[in-house]
């Protein structure tokens, strides 16, 4: 039986398992504070459903705060939501 491999370039680490220093005293805490799949910003359709359907409807913008996703605004359509997700966050 063949060995299972992660698809993609062999020189890139897998994103499925976050790399955490086991010697760090707060490693378990830091692991829980990471967003799912390292997605810090996301958008959802206001009325639910699939994100790619009805691209002209408004979207809810959500940002990871260390514990959960918090609503931070709205976008008028899918294009505006994607621009917000891909934009660099403002520096504090």
- Phi and psi for 84 in degrees, rounded to 5? -65, -45
| Predicted TM-score (pTM) above 0.75 | no
Q: How far is the C-alpha of 70 from the C-alpha of 56, rounded, in Å? A: 23
Q: Compute the C-alpha angle 39/87/75, nearest 5°.
A: 85
Paired sense of beta strands 41-45 and 69-75, if any: unpaired
How confident is the model over 11-52, as pLDDT tens digits?
665 555 556 677 888 877 776 777 777 788 999 999 888 878
Q: How confident is the model at residue 63 (pLDDT cuts 50, 70, 90)?
A: very high
Question: Domain extents for the chain?
Answer: 36-86
Please answer whether residues 53 and 41 qualify as being in contact, where contact means their C-beta atoms are separated by less than 8 angstroms. no
Average confidence (pLDDT) over 56-71? 92
Give the DSSP H/E element, type plus range, for residue 30: helix 27-33
């Amino acid at each position: 039986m063949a060995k299972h491999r992660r698809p993609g370039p062999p020189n890139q680490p897998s994103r499925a398992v976050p790399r955490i220093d086991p010697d760090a005293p707060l490693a378990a805490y830091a692991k829980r504070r990471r967003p799912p799949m390292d997605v810090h910003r996301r958008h959802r359709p206001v009325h639910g459903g699939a994100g790619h359907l009805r691209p002209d409807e408004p979207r809810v913008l959500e940002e990871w705060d260390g514990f959960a996703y918090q609503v931070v605004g709205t976008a008028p359509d899918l294009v505006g939501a994607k621009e917000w997700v891909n934009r660099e966050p403002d520096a504090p």
